[in-house]
A and B are shown apart, each in its own frame.
Chain A
């Protein structure tokens, strides 16, 4: 699959480069610590595997998606 020549909505995306970053960090806590040390606004998510790692339930959940 090669991408079609659909132009991206540059107007919407430009906000990422123009505004101060406000980051939600999902995963390695180290990254949130570094961002905070840098003065960037960051919210850490204490992520845990869905359904406590139960693959069957995670599969069901992904199908009835939240």
Chain B
């Protein structure tokens, strides 16, 4: 049976709601539960999940729908009581404090007039409006939200440029400014390398490799995934180059992106060429330009970018690799889109046939049948619609992992285990528990662990959990792809 409760005029952020819904779903006698704001899109998600009844249909975009599917009335009643308790418990920030929690940026600035950065993670439809308000109040902006219309991004970045302010994003998952991790980011020691990245997990991988190699970064500036498109023209990338160029602590700059629009690439390279600092430009899936400025070097993988500033190769896996059984296919399940792209690149280079839901270059689309190696980007809309991002909730990967484990054709499974702030407290632990029921024959599992010792999850402890469970831990994502290759040869 379906039980629904509507709270009129109630709003809570999507992550908090998903967490609450998940804990309700785990109660005895409950098959599934959802807590969503009553927008048409969300009601459709609830309907598809078999959680929408008449009352839920009537909910409006300003209302919260609490829906559960239970095996008995008693279970439903108990679960609904718990749901109410979860929603009504005082927010941590309001606990014993009787001060007002501002509802608007405007009021927040009454309480913090000298703020210098707005971090925006509201639903995409509203993000640009909030960003504009922030810019007009003299704040730099980081937009974590995605699904912001391209035209709005262009308008914002033009306005930011005129005001001498920086817009990181939209869809900027990672930044590190002055050693402070913002959104999904790692604890990285301070050092001389400045990073400009169109990809969050790309920034994470490179910054962690640098940290684990004994060096540090000055700042990591996220630009959002579309900054280097023709429509945007690299406004933030160019502003970031200016900033790092003028930053005394930065001695080397790494730029990470997928291949930019050609005109934009020209501008960016020309600007990099004007700097006296060495630049390493990492374009996943890109080809080196024919005439690069003297201070600019091209690399094709994230590992190579880190190696360029470390000045040495990053160690590869030393122990003997297991040979997989007759199964010869690689299955990659990635939380990081750029990590998925990098893996595709490395497999393609070795002549393998690869398909993906986020294909680059010669990779085919996931839907094509056949005996291909399959690399999946779990951060893709198709998987994240109505569900938490796998970096926040590793269980989102569990179903596909389960499929891969029982798939006779799969010889190696590749996984990225991403650590850092804003991220699940124990991804390795979760993974190991998901594998526990599988004894006996299973595919080889290769993982790369993106994180540092200073991260909340503590890299070495996560690595130990994985190796104790018989998982091969590579030294980087690129290295993991190479290991997977060797296992299936």
Contacts and interface: CB of A to CB of B under 8 A. Distances in A.
B164 A22 contact: no
Task: Name which of A6, A25, A38 has the most chain B CB atoms within 10 A of its CB.
Answer: A25
B165 A24 contact: no
Contacts of B122: 26-27, 47, 49
B118 A23 contact: yes
A39 to B, nearest CB: 9
Interface in B243-271: 243, 245-247, 263-264, 267
A29 B16 contact: yes
Contacts of A34: 181, 421-422
A26 B177 CA distance: 18
Interface string A1-22: 1110111111111111101111
Contacts of B101: 44-46
Interface in B353-385: none
B327 interface: no
Interface residues of A, number: 51
Contact of A43 (B91, B112, B161): B112
B16 A8 contact: no
Contact of A22 (B102, B116, B120, B421): B116
A23 B130 contact: no
Contact of B15 (A28, A41, A49): A28
A26 B103 CA distance: 9
A6 B154 CA distance: 15
Contacts of A21: 116-117, 177-178, 180
B144 A20 contact: no
Interface residues of B, number: 78
B406 interface: no
A16 B15 contact: no
Contacts of A20: 178
B8 to A, nearest CB: 9
B280 to A, nearest CB: 20
B322 interface: no
Contacts of A30: 15-16, 422
Given A16-B140, A49-B11, A52-B9, A24 B219 contact: no
A3 B233 contact: yes
B61 interface: yes
A5 to B, nearest CB: 7
A31 to B, nearest CB: 6
B177 A17 contact: yes
B78 interface: no
Nearest to B132: A65
Nearest to B10: A48
B312 interface: no
Contacts of A25: 118-119, 121
25 contacts: A3-B233, A6-B161, A10-B246, A11-B164, A13-B243, A15-B116, A16-B166, A17-B247, A22-B115, A25-B118, A25-B119, A26-B134, A27-B122, A27-B144, A28-B121, A31-B422, A38-B181, A44-B93, A44-B101, A45-B102, A47-B130, A52-B62, A53-B61, A53-B62, A66-B106
Given A13-B243, A47-B104, 18 more contacts: A3-B232, A8-B164, A8-B238, A17-B243, A22-B112, A22-B117, A26-B108, A27-B121, A28-B14, A31-B121, A35-B119, A35-B182, A45-B103, A45-B104, A45-B108, A46-B102, A53-B37, A53-B60
Interface of A: 1-3, 5-17, 19-35, 38, 40-41, 43-55, 62, 66
What are the 10 closest A-B residue pairs judged by CB atoms, nearest first? A9-B164, A27-B121, A53-B61, A52-B62, A12-B164, A3-B233, A53-B62, A48-B11, A28-B121, A2-B233
